[in-house]
Structure 1
Amino acid sequence: MNSENNGMHRGLKNRHIQMIALGGAIGTGLFYGSAQTIQLAGPAITLSYLIGGTVIFFIMRMLGEMSVDEPVSGSFSHFAYKYWGEFPGFLSGWNYWFNYIIVSMAELTAVGIYINYWWPEVPHWVSALVCLVVITLLNLIEVKMYGELEFWFAIIKVAAIVGMIVFGLLMIFTGIGLGGHAIGFDNLWVHGGFMPNGVWGLLLSLVIVMFSFGGIELIGITAGEADNPKKSIAQAINQVIWRILIFYVGALTVLMIIYPWNKVGLDGSPFVQIFSKMGISSAATILNIVVLTAALSVYNSGIYSNARMLYGLAQQGNAPKLFAKLNNKGVPVTSVLASSACTLVAVVLNYLLPGKVFMYLISVAILAAIINWAMIIIANLKFRAVKGADAAKLDFKVPLYPLSNYVCLGFLAMIIVLMLQIEDMKLSVYIMPLWLVILWIGFKLKQRYLPSNISNSIGK
C-alpha cells in the first residue's frame, strides 16, 4: 500500500483486481447488446461468444505476459512505446482513451434505457447526467474507493447471473414458476434451427460479440496500482476463460432454452424482457436492477481507466503535464475530470437523438477496441523479439506463441470486413483511417510543442 508507482498509490488488493476483471467481462455488451446478437445468430449466440471469448483470452494472455513482467500504469501504451516506437505508444494510449470514452457514452445511454423500464417518462439524457455526476465524484476520492465500488458492483452482477442460471435450470427441468410444466430444450431448434441464419448470421454476430469484450483489457491498466501485480494480474487473466464460459455462454444458453429466440426484441435487455414476458415480474425487476448496476459499473471503470491512461500519457510526454498531477490520495484529479467532461457528449446525443445512439456508439467502440487489441498483439511480438533468449524466463508466457498472435490478428481483420456488411456500422469503418490520420497529426504536434519524457516514463 505504501509503495507507489510514480506517485500513484498501490491501493488495489487482490480481491479488487479479481472483481475488476469480472466487471470488465460483464457489462452492457452482454446485458443489452446481446439482443442484437440474438437476432443475428439465434441459439447459436452461445457459439459466437465461445469463439470471440477464445480470441480475447489469447489477447489477454499477451497483455498479461507483459504486465506481469513490467507492472506499470499506462499498460499496453507503455509497452507499445517501449518496444515498438514513439508513434505506436502515442497511438495506443490515445486510442484506448478514446475507446473508453465511447464505451462510457454507450453505458450512459444504456442507463437511460434501463431507467425507462420503471419510469418511461424520464428522458435518457437526465438519467445519463445523474450517473455521470455521481460516478465522477466517487472517482475523485481515492483508488481504494474505486476498487471497493467495483468490488461490490461485480458481486451483484455475478450473484445475479448465477442466480438466473440456477433459476433457469429449475424452469427447464422442474417447471418452477411455470405451474410445474418443465420447459425442456425444444427452443434451441424448433424456431428455424440452432443456427437459423446460417454461418453468415453467426459470423455477423461476432461483430457485436466483440463489443461485449471491449474493456476486459482493463486488468492490465490496474497493474500500476495493484499491491501484488505478479500474482493478482496473472490470476485474473487465467480466470477470463471460465468467466466467459459461465457468464456469457452459460447465461445465454439458459436464456435461449427457456424462451424462443425470435421473440426477443431490441427495446431493452433480453434478460429483463424474457422474464417479464413470461410473467415473472419479480425476476424481471431484479434483473433490471442488475443490468443498471452493470452499466454503472462499466462507466465507473471507464472513468477510472481513462484517467490512468491520460496520466500515463502525460508521464510519457504524450499529453499535457497537467494530466500528470496527483492529489494527496494519489488520484489524477485533472485526468478524471477531463475524461468525465468528454462523456458529457453522450448526454447531448441522448437529448438530440433519443433511442438512436447506442448502435452508433457500439460501431465506433468496436473499431477502437480492435485497434487496441491489435496494438497489444503486435507489441507482444516486439516485446518477445527484444527479450530474445530471456523470453524463456518469463513468468507468464503466451500459449502457442507466435501462432496465437497471428491467428488473433487475422480474426480482428475479419471483424473489420464483417462490419462493412452491417449498414449501421459501415460509416465507422470508413472513418477509421481518418481517425488514424488525426492521431498522426496529433503526434507531430506533440513532437513540436510538448517536451519528450521517454527516459523518465519508459526507463530506457
Structure 2
Amino acid sequence: MTASLEHPEHLRRSLSNRHLQLIAIGGAIGTGLFMGSGKTISLAGPSILLVYLIIGVMLFFVMRAMGELLLSNLEYKSFIDFSTDLLGPWAGFFCGWTYWFCWVITAIADVIAIAAYAQFWFPGLAPWIPAVLCVLLLLSLNLVTVKLFGELEFWFALIKIVAIVALIATGFALVAWGFTSPSGHKASLANLWSDGGFFPKGLSGFFAGFQIAVFAFVGIELVGTTAAETADPKRNLPKAINSIPVRIIIFYVLALIAIMVVTPWRLVEAGKSPFVELFVLAGIPAAASLINFVVLTSATSSANSGIFSTSRMLYGLAEEQHAPKTFARLSRAAVPSLGLLFSCFCLLLGAAMIYLIPDLITAFTLITTLSAVLFMFVWSLILFGYIAYRRQRPQLHQASIYKMPGGVFMCWACLAFFVFVLVLLSLQPDTREALIASPVWFVLLGIGYLWKGRRARRGVALPAE
C-alpha cells in the first residue's frame, strides 16, 4: 500500500443524517439549560421564555446564512474556508483561531464541571482524576474514526433529549392532575402570569436574562464544522439547520414552561437545578442522581464537541496556511490526529490553571462570558461573509436551492442584535470584566497575523514540524 493510501489527503464524509441531526441538537442544548435555567428564571421570571425565543430566532438566521454559504461551494469544509474566500485571508485566520480558542475555553469549563459532577458519587476522589480520565477517553475515541465521534454525540444527545422530554411530560402531567406541592402551590398554567404578570421584573429583569441565556446557545454552529465529513450535505445540512426552531421551542420553551407551571417562578432557586426540583416534587427519589447523570453526559458531550471542532479548525487553518502544516496531516483513519493531541494538551493545561484560581465561580463567569463574546465574533464573521457573498457572487445566490430568508437585511438585524447583547454584558460587573479582557485575544491574533505575513514576505513557510 502506498503512503498516500495509508494516509488520506482529505476528510471523509462518514457522518450520516442521523449523526448530523443529533450533533445539531447536542449543540443547541447546553449544560446551561440544565443548571443555569434556575438563575435565568429568577432574573427574568416568565419573560425568560421570550428571551430564549429571540436569541433562538436570531441564531437561526445566522445558521441559514452559514448553510447557504457552505452549499454554494462544496469545497468549503467549514466557515474558515468561506471567510478566507469572501472576506480575505485575515478573516479566515481570525475566525479559525478564535473558534479554536472558543472551544478550548468552553471545553475547559466542561472538564471542570465533569470533575465537580463526579464528586456527587465519589466525594473522596481527587478532582483532577475524572478531569484527566475524561480528556484521555474522549481523545482516544476521537482518534479512531469520525464515525465514532458521530456515534458518541448521537447517544449523548439522546440522553439529553429523553431527560427534557421526561421533564416536559412530568410537568404537564402534574398540571393535568391538579397537583399541589407540599408548600401549598397548585400546578397551573396561570403561574405564568398570575404573579406580577409576564414581565414581573420589568425591562431590567428581561434584559438581564439575555446575559446568561446567550451562553446556552454556544455550539449551535457546530453543524457547520461537520460539513466536510457529512454524507450528502445538500440534503442533510438543510434538514439539520431547518429543525433548529422546532428544537428551541421543544427543548427550551416547553421545558421552562413545564418548570414554571409546577413551581411559581418566584420559588425557583437560582443556585439549584429546577430539573431536579421538579422530579423531586413528582415523587422520584432518584431525581438528584438521575439529573446528575444527565448533566454529566451533557458536559461530556460538550467537551467531546470541543475536542472534535478544535481539531477540525486546526486542520482547516493548516490547509489555508494559517497554522503549521503538520496539523493538516491525517491519520490512516482520516482523522487530524496531531490537531487532536495539541487541542487536548491545551485543554489539560487550561484545566490545571483553573485549579490554581481560588474562586472557581469567578473563573467560570469569566470563561463563559469570554466564550460568548468570542462566539458572537465568529457568528458575526459568518454574517459578514454572507453579505460579501451576495455582493461578489450574485449568480451563486440566484442558483442556490437553500436561500437565506430575509437575505442581507436579516444579516444587519442579527449584527445589531449582537451589539445589543454586548451592551447588556457591559452592565454587570462580573460580565464586564470578561468583555474588557476579550480585546487582548484580538491583539494577540493581530500580532500573530502580522508575524505570519512578514515570514511569508521573506519567503519562509510556516514550520512543517
Does TM-score exceed 0.5, indicating one fold?
yes
Q: Distance in 1 between matches of 2:101 and 2:186?
A: 48
Q: Secondary structure at the match of 1:432?
A: helix
**CA distance, structure 2, for counterparts of residue 83 and residue 452 of structure 1:** 26
1:156 maps to which of 153, 159, 174:
159
Residue of structure 2 in register with 1:212 after alignment: 216
Q: SS of the counterpart of 1:317?
A: coil
Which amino acid is the alignment partner of residue 251 of structure 1?
A
Q: Which whole-Å CA distance do the structure 1 matches of 2:458 and 2:392 have between them? A: 23
- Amino acid in the other structure paired with 2:265: W
C-alpha change, 1:9 and 1:329, in structure 2 (3 Å) is same
Provide the residue aligned with 2:397 in structure 1: 391
2:462 is aligned to none
* Residue in 1 that maps onto 2:117: 114
In structure 2, C-alpha distance between the alignment counterparts of 1:350 and 1:275, rounded to whole Å: 32
Match of 1:135 among 133, 138, 144: 138
Stretches of structure 2 lacking an aligned partner (at least 5 in a row): 460-465
Matches within 5 A, 1:58-457: 58-72=61-75, 74-122=77-125, 124-175=127-178, 183-276=187-280, 280-344=284-348, 345-350=350-355, 352-353=357-358, 355-356=360-361, 357-449=363-455
Compared CA separation, residues 228 and 235, structure 1 to 2 (3 A): same
Q: Which stretches in structure 1 are left out of the alignment for 5+ residues?
A: 454-460
- Secondary structure (helix, strand or coil) at the match of 1:331 reads coil
The Cα shift of 1:201 comes to 1.4
**How many percent identity over aligned positions?**
39
Distance in structure 2 (CA, Å) of the matches to 1:197 and 1:176: 27
- TM superposition shift of 1:131: 1.8
Q: How far apart are 1:301 and its partner, in Å?
A: 0.7
Letter aligned with residue 253 of structure 2: V
Deviation per CA, 1:138-166: give whole Å up to 9, x if none. Answer: 11111011011111111111122112111
Q: Deviations over 1:235-292 (max 9, x none)?
A: 0000001000100111111111111333333445332244346753223432221121
Displacement of 1:332: 0.6
**215-224 vs 171-180, greater mean Cα deviation:** 171-180
Residue 458 (structure 1) aligns with: none
Q: Which amino acid aligns with 2:290?
A: I
* Larger CA deviation: 103-112 vs 267-276: 267-276
Work out the CA distance in 1 between the residues paired with 2:9 and 2:110. 31
TM-score scaled by structure 2?
Answer: 0.91
Count of residues paired in the alignment:
451
Would you say the 8 A contact 1:112–1:124 is kept in 2? yes
Distance (Å, rounded) in 2 between the aligned partners of 1:118 and 1:450? 54
For residue 352 of structure 1, give the secondary structure of its aligned residue in structure 2: coil
How far is the alpha carbon of 1:210 from its aligned partner?
A: 1.4
Task: State the distance in 1 between where 2:69 and 2:224 align.
Answer: 9
Could you say what the CA RMSD is over the residues aligned between the two structures, in angstroms? 2.5
CA distance in 2, matches of 1:63, 1:452: 35
Deviation readout 1:336-377 (Å, 9 max, x if unpaired) = 111111112124313533642322211111101110110010
| Inter-partner Cα distance in structure 1 for 2:32 and 2:8 | 32
